[in-house]
Amino acid sequence: MTPTRTLHDAGQSLWLDNITRGIIDDGTLERYIRDFDVTGLTSNPTIFEKAIGSGEHYDAQIADLAATVADDDQIFFELAMADLRRACDLFADVHRRSAGLDGFVSLEVSPELAYDAEATVAQAADLHARMDRPNVFIKIPGTPEGLPAVEETIAAGIPVNVTLLFSSEHHLAAADAYYRGLERRVAAGLSPDVPSVASLFMSRWDKKVEGRTPAGLENRLGLAIGGRAYRNYRELLDSDRVQRLMNAGARPQRLLWASTGTKDPAASDVLYVDGLVSPFTVNTMPDGTLEAFADHGTQPPVALPRDGGDADEVLGGFEAAGISVDTLAAELQQEGADSFVASWRTLLEAIASKRAALAGTA
């Protein structure tokens, strides 16, 4: 049995943290689904910036769209949706087989809306309608300003991937927004069966403290953050609030482990996969991490303890060294939002440059 199959059988969904037209055209995504048990994928502005800005896969569609679409951001969404609709169709069987739990792809609202809830809600509704697929999540940042947009979007019946979460506190705030949206649907006599995932970013924690990590705790901060979050997640699933909603027909929001590619070349290249094995969660991996785990992931997988294992002890070691986890979480969320905005702007510049070049005016 392959490592990816044993991980899948342990109750965890394996998603790909990548999307390019090339991996759809050449059959790579189909191979991942068939051979590596991949059951969904995520995208973000950085992924699309790299995909669209390099190569020629998108040139023909950019040239066609340039004749009728004036705004570069709308050209981007047309490019992205063309890829993601095809990916949705590839995962359609998974979506049906899992009764709508799995088989999702994610499309993110403009990162420049991270602090504008009203505009985020409007764009989320527009993108979801234009995608015209049942298995698409709209990604909304879990910033304080973004959480009301999560609630409104869920209340409107649109599946949401809450992104840019970095701590258990961030995750619980996102979950609260999700469940408020479901409670509003129940009160209105509507179905609360609106799926969601909450994306907790992992590897950036260890990168953030590089060079000032207490002795013996190298590359353990991210997993400790995950352990604490998992304990609180399991407690939330057992709460009266969630149980009441499940009794009304809801399915709980799943915790998703994001940013699971190892950034330290001295550490295991499957560190954030081996260390985060957990049922009723998702691990979304870059291509390289997925390939590495398929080749040499730990077998059999060792499940993350329900109580988070040694998470509190490890986090206590960082706090004792003067490293505030709460401060770092706020910094990481702001840096993540800023990074996505920068990628978004670079992406739009690349599209504008390609438009000009294809029109012969560059």
**Average pLDDT, 10 consecutive residues per value, the chain (362 residues):** 94 96 96 98 87 83 88 93 97 98 97 91 98 98 96 98 98 98 98 98 96 95 98 98 98 97 96 98 97 95 96 97 97 94 91 82 49
CATH homologous superfamily for the domain 3-358: Aldolase class I (3.20.20.70)
Contact predicate 22/55, CB 8 Å: yes
SS (H, E, C) 138-186: EEEECCCCCHHHHHHHHHCCCCEEEEEECCHHHHHHHHHHHHHHHHHHH
Q: What is the pLDDT of residue 158?
A: 98
Q: Which two tokens stand for residue 162?
A: 């809450």
Among the listed residues 158, 152, 156, the one whose alpha carbon sits nearest the alpha carbon of residue 137: 158
Check 139, 208, 263, 354 and give the catalytic one: 139
Q: What is the pLDDT of residue 361?
A: 52
Q: What is the pLDDT of residue 169?
A: 98
Contacts of 235 (CB under 8 A, 6+ apart): none
354 as an active site residue: the answer is no
Average pLDDT over the chain, rounded to whole?
95
What is residue 54's three-state secondary structure? coil
Contact predicate 88/19, CB 8 Å: no
Q: Any idea where the domains of the chain sit in the sequence?
A: 3-358
Q: What is the pLDDT of residue 362?
A: 46
| Interior angle at CA 203, CA 27 and CA 151, nearest 5 | 80
Tens digit of each residue's pLDDT (9 = 90 or more) over 276-302: 999 999 999 999 999 999 999 999 999
- In the numeric block, the tokens 């006599």 are attached to 189
Q: What is the pLDDT of residue 69?
A: 87
d(CA 245, CA 243): 5
Run of H or E residues at 2:
none
